[in-house]
Amino acid sequence: MHPCLTFCALTAVLLAVRPLQAQQSTPAVDSAVHVLSRLAYGPLPGQVDRVAQEGAWHWIDRQLRPEDIDNRILEHRESQFSVLDYSRDDLAGAFLAFQRQRRERQRAMAQRGDSATSRDQGRRMSSSGRELRQLRGQVGQLVVVRASTSNRQLEEVMIDFWANHFNVYFAKGLDRVLLPHYIEETIRPNAMGRFEDLLRATARDPAMLFYLDNMQSVAPGARPPGLDRRLMRMSRNAQRGAASVDSMRRRIEARIPKGLNENYARELLELHTVGVDAGYTQEDVIDVARILTGWSISRRDDRVRFQFNEWAHDRDEKTVLGYRFPPGKNQDEGERLLTMLANHPATMHHVSGKLCTRFVSDTPAPGCVDAAVSAWRRTDGDIRMVLRAIFSAPDFWAAAHRGTKVKTPLEFTVSAVRSVGATPRDGPGMSRVVAKLGQPLYLEAAPTGYPETQEYWVNSGALLNRMNVAMALASNKLPGITVDLDAVVPASDDIDALIDAVDDRILAGQMTQRTREVIRRELEDVADPADRRMLAVGLAIGGPEFQRQ
């Protein structure tokens, strides 16, 4: 028997028994809609009623303890993503070997005098190159699958929040292979833990050290031990002619880090911790960079690891935000710096403000931020307790803030997928949809990560694309996903019953009277019930109500 038959019959019975309009504006239902829109990637079919029955706060409490929520369905889905079976060493090794092969091929070509175009090189890409590309392609899709499938919805929302807060660009050199591990081992396990642990984990993750260049920040004048001896040996043993040795020497010299690099230090203050308004100066930035000289990466035997290079460390005295760091220290002063920054009042305000922007409003009310800060202070930055304080703040529940935030492309796509109860497949289809809407996952080049506020996401091209995605989803034409509308909104000859069902299932009862009238008018000249349903669902998902959460 087709599985849909029972399921659809059941849905039909439920819809028939339940008077749709009557249920829609009880406070319990409204609260359920609100928490499922903000703390989750939108409701699944029927979930609003379940959460309303359970009680929104009960649901929040469970979401704050993700480890107690059964997630076997997601775990099964994750097992289809082979990229998760590769360790950082596997990926880095494959990448570095691939690069070496390419260099050797180029050298061979140069000796033959070939002049290959880049297209030829693409055609000759080795199988290891293709495999790497395929593995990297899984990473974005995994985000969509987890966000739409996980029962630990709040945790997934927080993972997205932190991955943006501590942004790493998935297309910068070695980060092409370091990012998956960064997400799995540094961001995900710490997303609901203590802020200080999360900060410390990002600070020493090779992906971050590479992305913001701290790996090449050294005390001015410092040179790696043994380098000069190696260069001398090279000149002595010159077999390939003086010109070629000269060119190699120059390349080596050009690659050696030549002093402070302030990039990470600046973003650590401005974005990750105290924020741009904390009143620090350029001298503070420089001293943060000096404290972190030597925090680098070892690539020995293709194994990429955090490594502290003592030779590169600046051992003089420094001062940051009035805190004195005495001379003669090594890696320990960097650890002390991170502790100080993680627990600085400005950090509490800055990060709490971002959390309130995410969960409450694009322009968060001070009351919400204050509540979060005092929880932070009380619990030494326990992220769950900070979140609980935000969800307890009157601002979070205020009518003026409900249904007002514009969804990001990821939120739009995943909430659309969830609203029709569909399951994305493991191919890259849905992450390409998110990219098409303007948010290629882990591919924001700026260290700010993707912004949370509407002015970044609402523009003509993107809005039209959302409408197209909505229609494609409703007509089951999106790549990488199968939609079975029968399971959600049964086709009906009765236009009003159909619109009621769409309002209830897709828009969680938020459909305005005007939208109802417009959809009704558009459905009237469509004869086929399946076409009519497709149009109604597509218009609802592409329409204005569904763009907000």
Residues that bind another protein (CB under 8 A): 106-107, 109-110, 113-118, 169, 171-173, 212-213, 243-244, 247-248, 250-251, 254, 263, 266-267, 270-271, 276, 362-363, 406, 435-436, 438, 440, 445-448, 451, 453-456, 458-461, 463-464, 467-468, 471, 512, 514-515, 517-519, 521-522, 535, 539, 542-545, 547-548
Q: Which is nearer to another protein, 115 or 239 (CB)?
A: 115
Calculate the alpha carbon distances from 485 to 157, 253, 283, 376, 504 in Å: 26, 63, 60, 44, 14
Least gap, CB of 236 to another protein (angstroms): 19
Q: Which is nearer to another protein, 389 or 519 (CB)?
A: 519
Q: How many CB atoms lie within 10 A of CB 443?
A: 14
Alpha carbon 50 to its chain centroid, in Å, reads 28
Least gap, CB of 445 to another protein (angstroms): 6
Note whether 538 and 419 are within 8 A (CB).
Answer: no
Least gap, CB of 453 to another protein (angstroms): 8
Q: Residue for token digits 């239902």? A: 29
Q: How many CB atoms lie within 10 A of CB 470?
A: 23
Amino acid at 443: L
Note whether 543 and 515 are within 8 A (CB).
Answer: yes
Q: Which is nearer to another protein, 114 or 494 (CB)?
A: 114
Least gap, CB of 378 to another protein (angstroms): 31
Q: Which is nearer to another protein, 340 or 435 (CB)?
A: 435
Q: Which is nearer to another protein, 156 or 284 (CB)?
A: 284
Least gap, CB of 122 to another protein (angstroms): 11
Least gap, CB of 299 to another protein (angstroms): 17
Q: Which is nearer to another protein, 14 or 110 (CB)?
A: 110
Note whether 193 and 240 are within 8 A (CB).
Answer: no
Alpha-carbon Rg for the chain in angstroms: 27
Note whether 269 and 341 are within 8 A (CB).
Answer: yes
Q: Residue for token digits 């763009």? A: 547
Least gap, CB of 477 to another protein (angstroms): 10
Least gap, CB of 511 to another protein (angstroms): 8
**Which residue, among 423, 432, 446, has the nearest Cα to 140 in the 3D structure?**
432
Q: Which is nearer to another protein, 120 or 380 (CB)?
A: 120
Within 8 A by CB and 6+ apart from 496, the residues are 520
Q: Which is nearer to another protein, 255 or 324 (CB)?
A: 255
Token couple for 29: 């239902």
Angstrom distance (rounded) from CA 320 to CA 311: 22
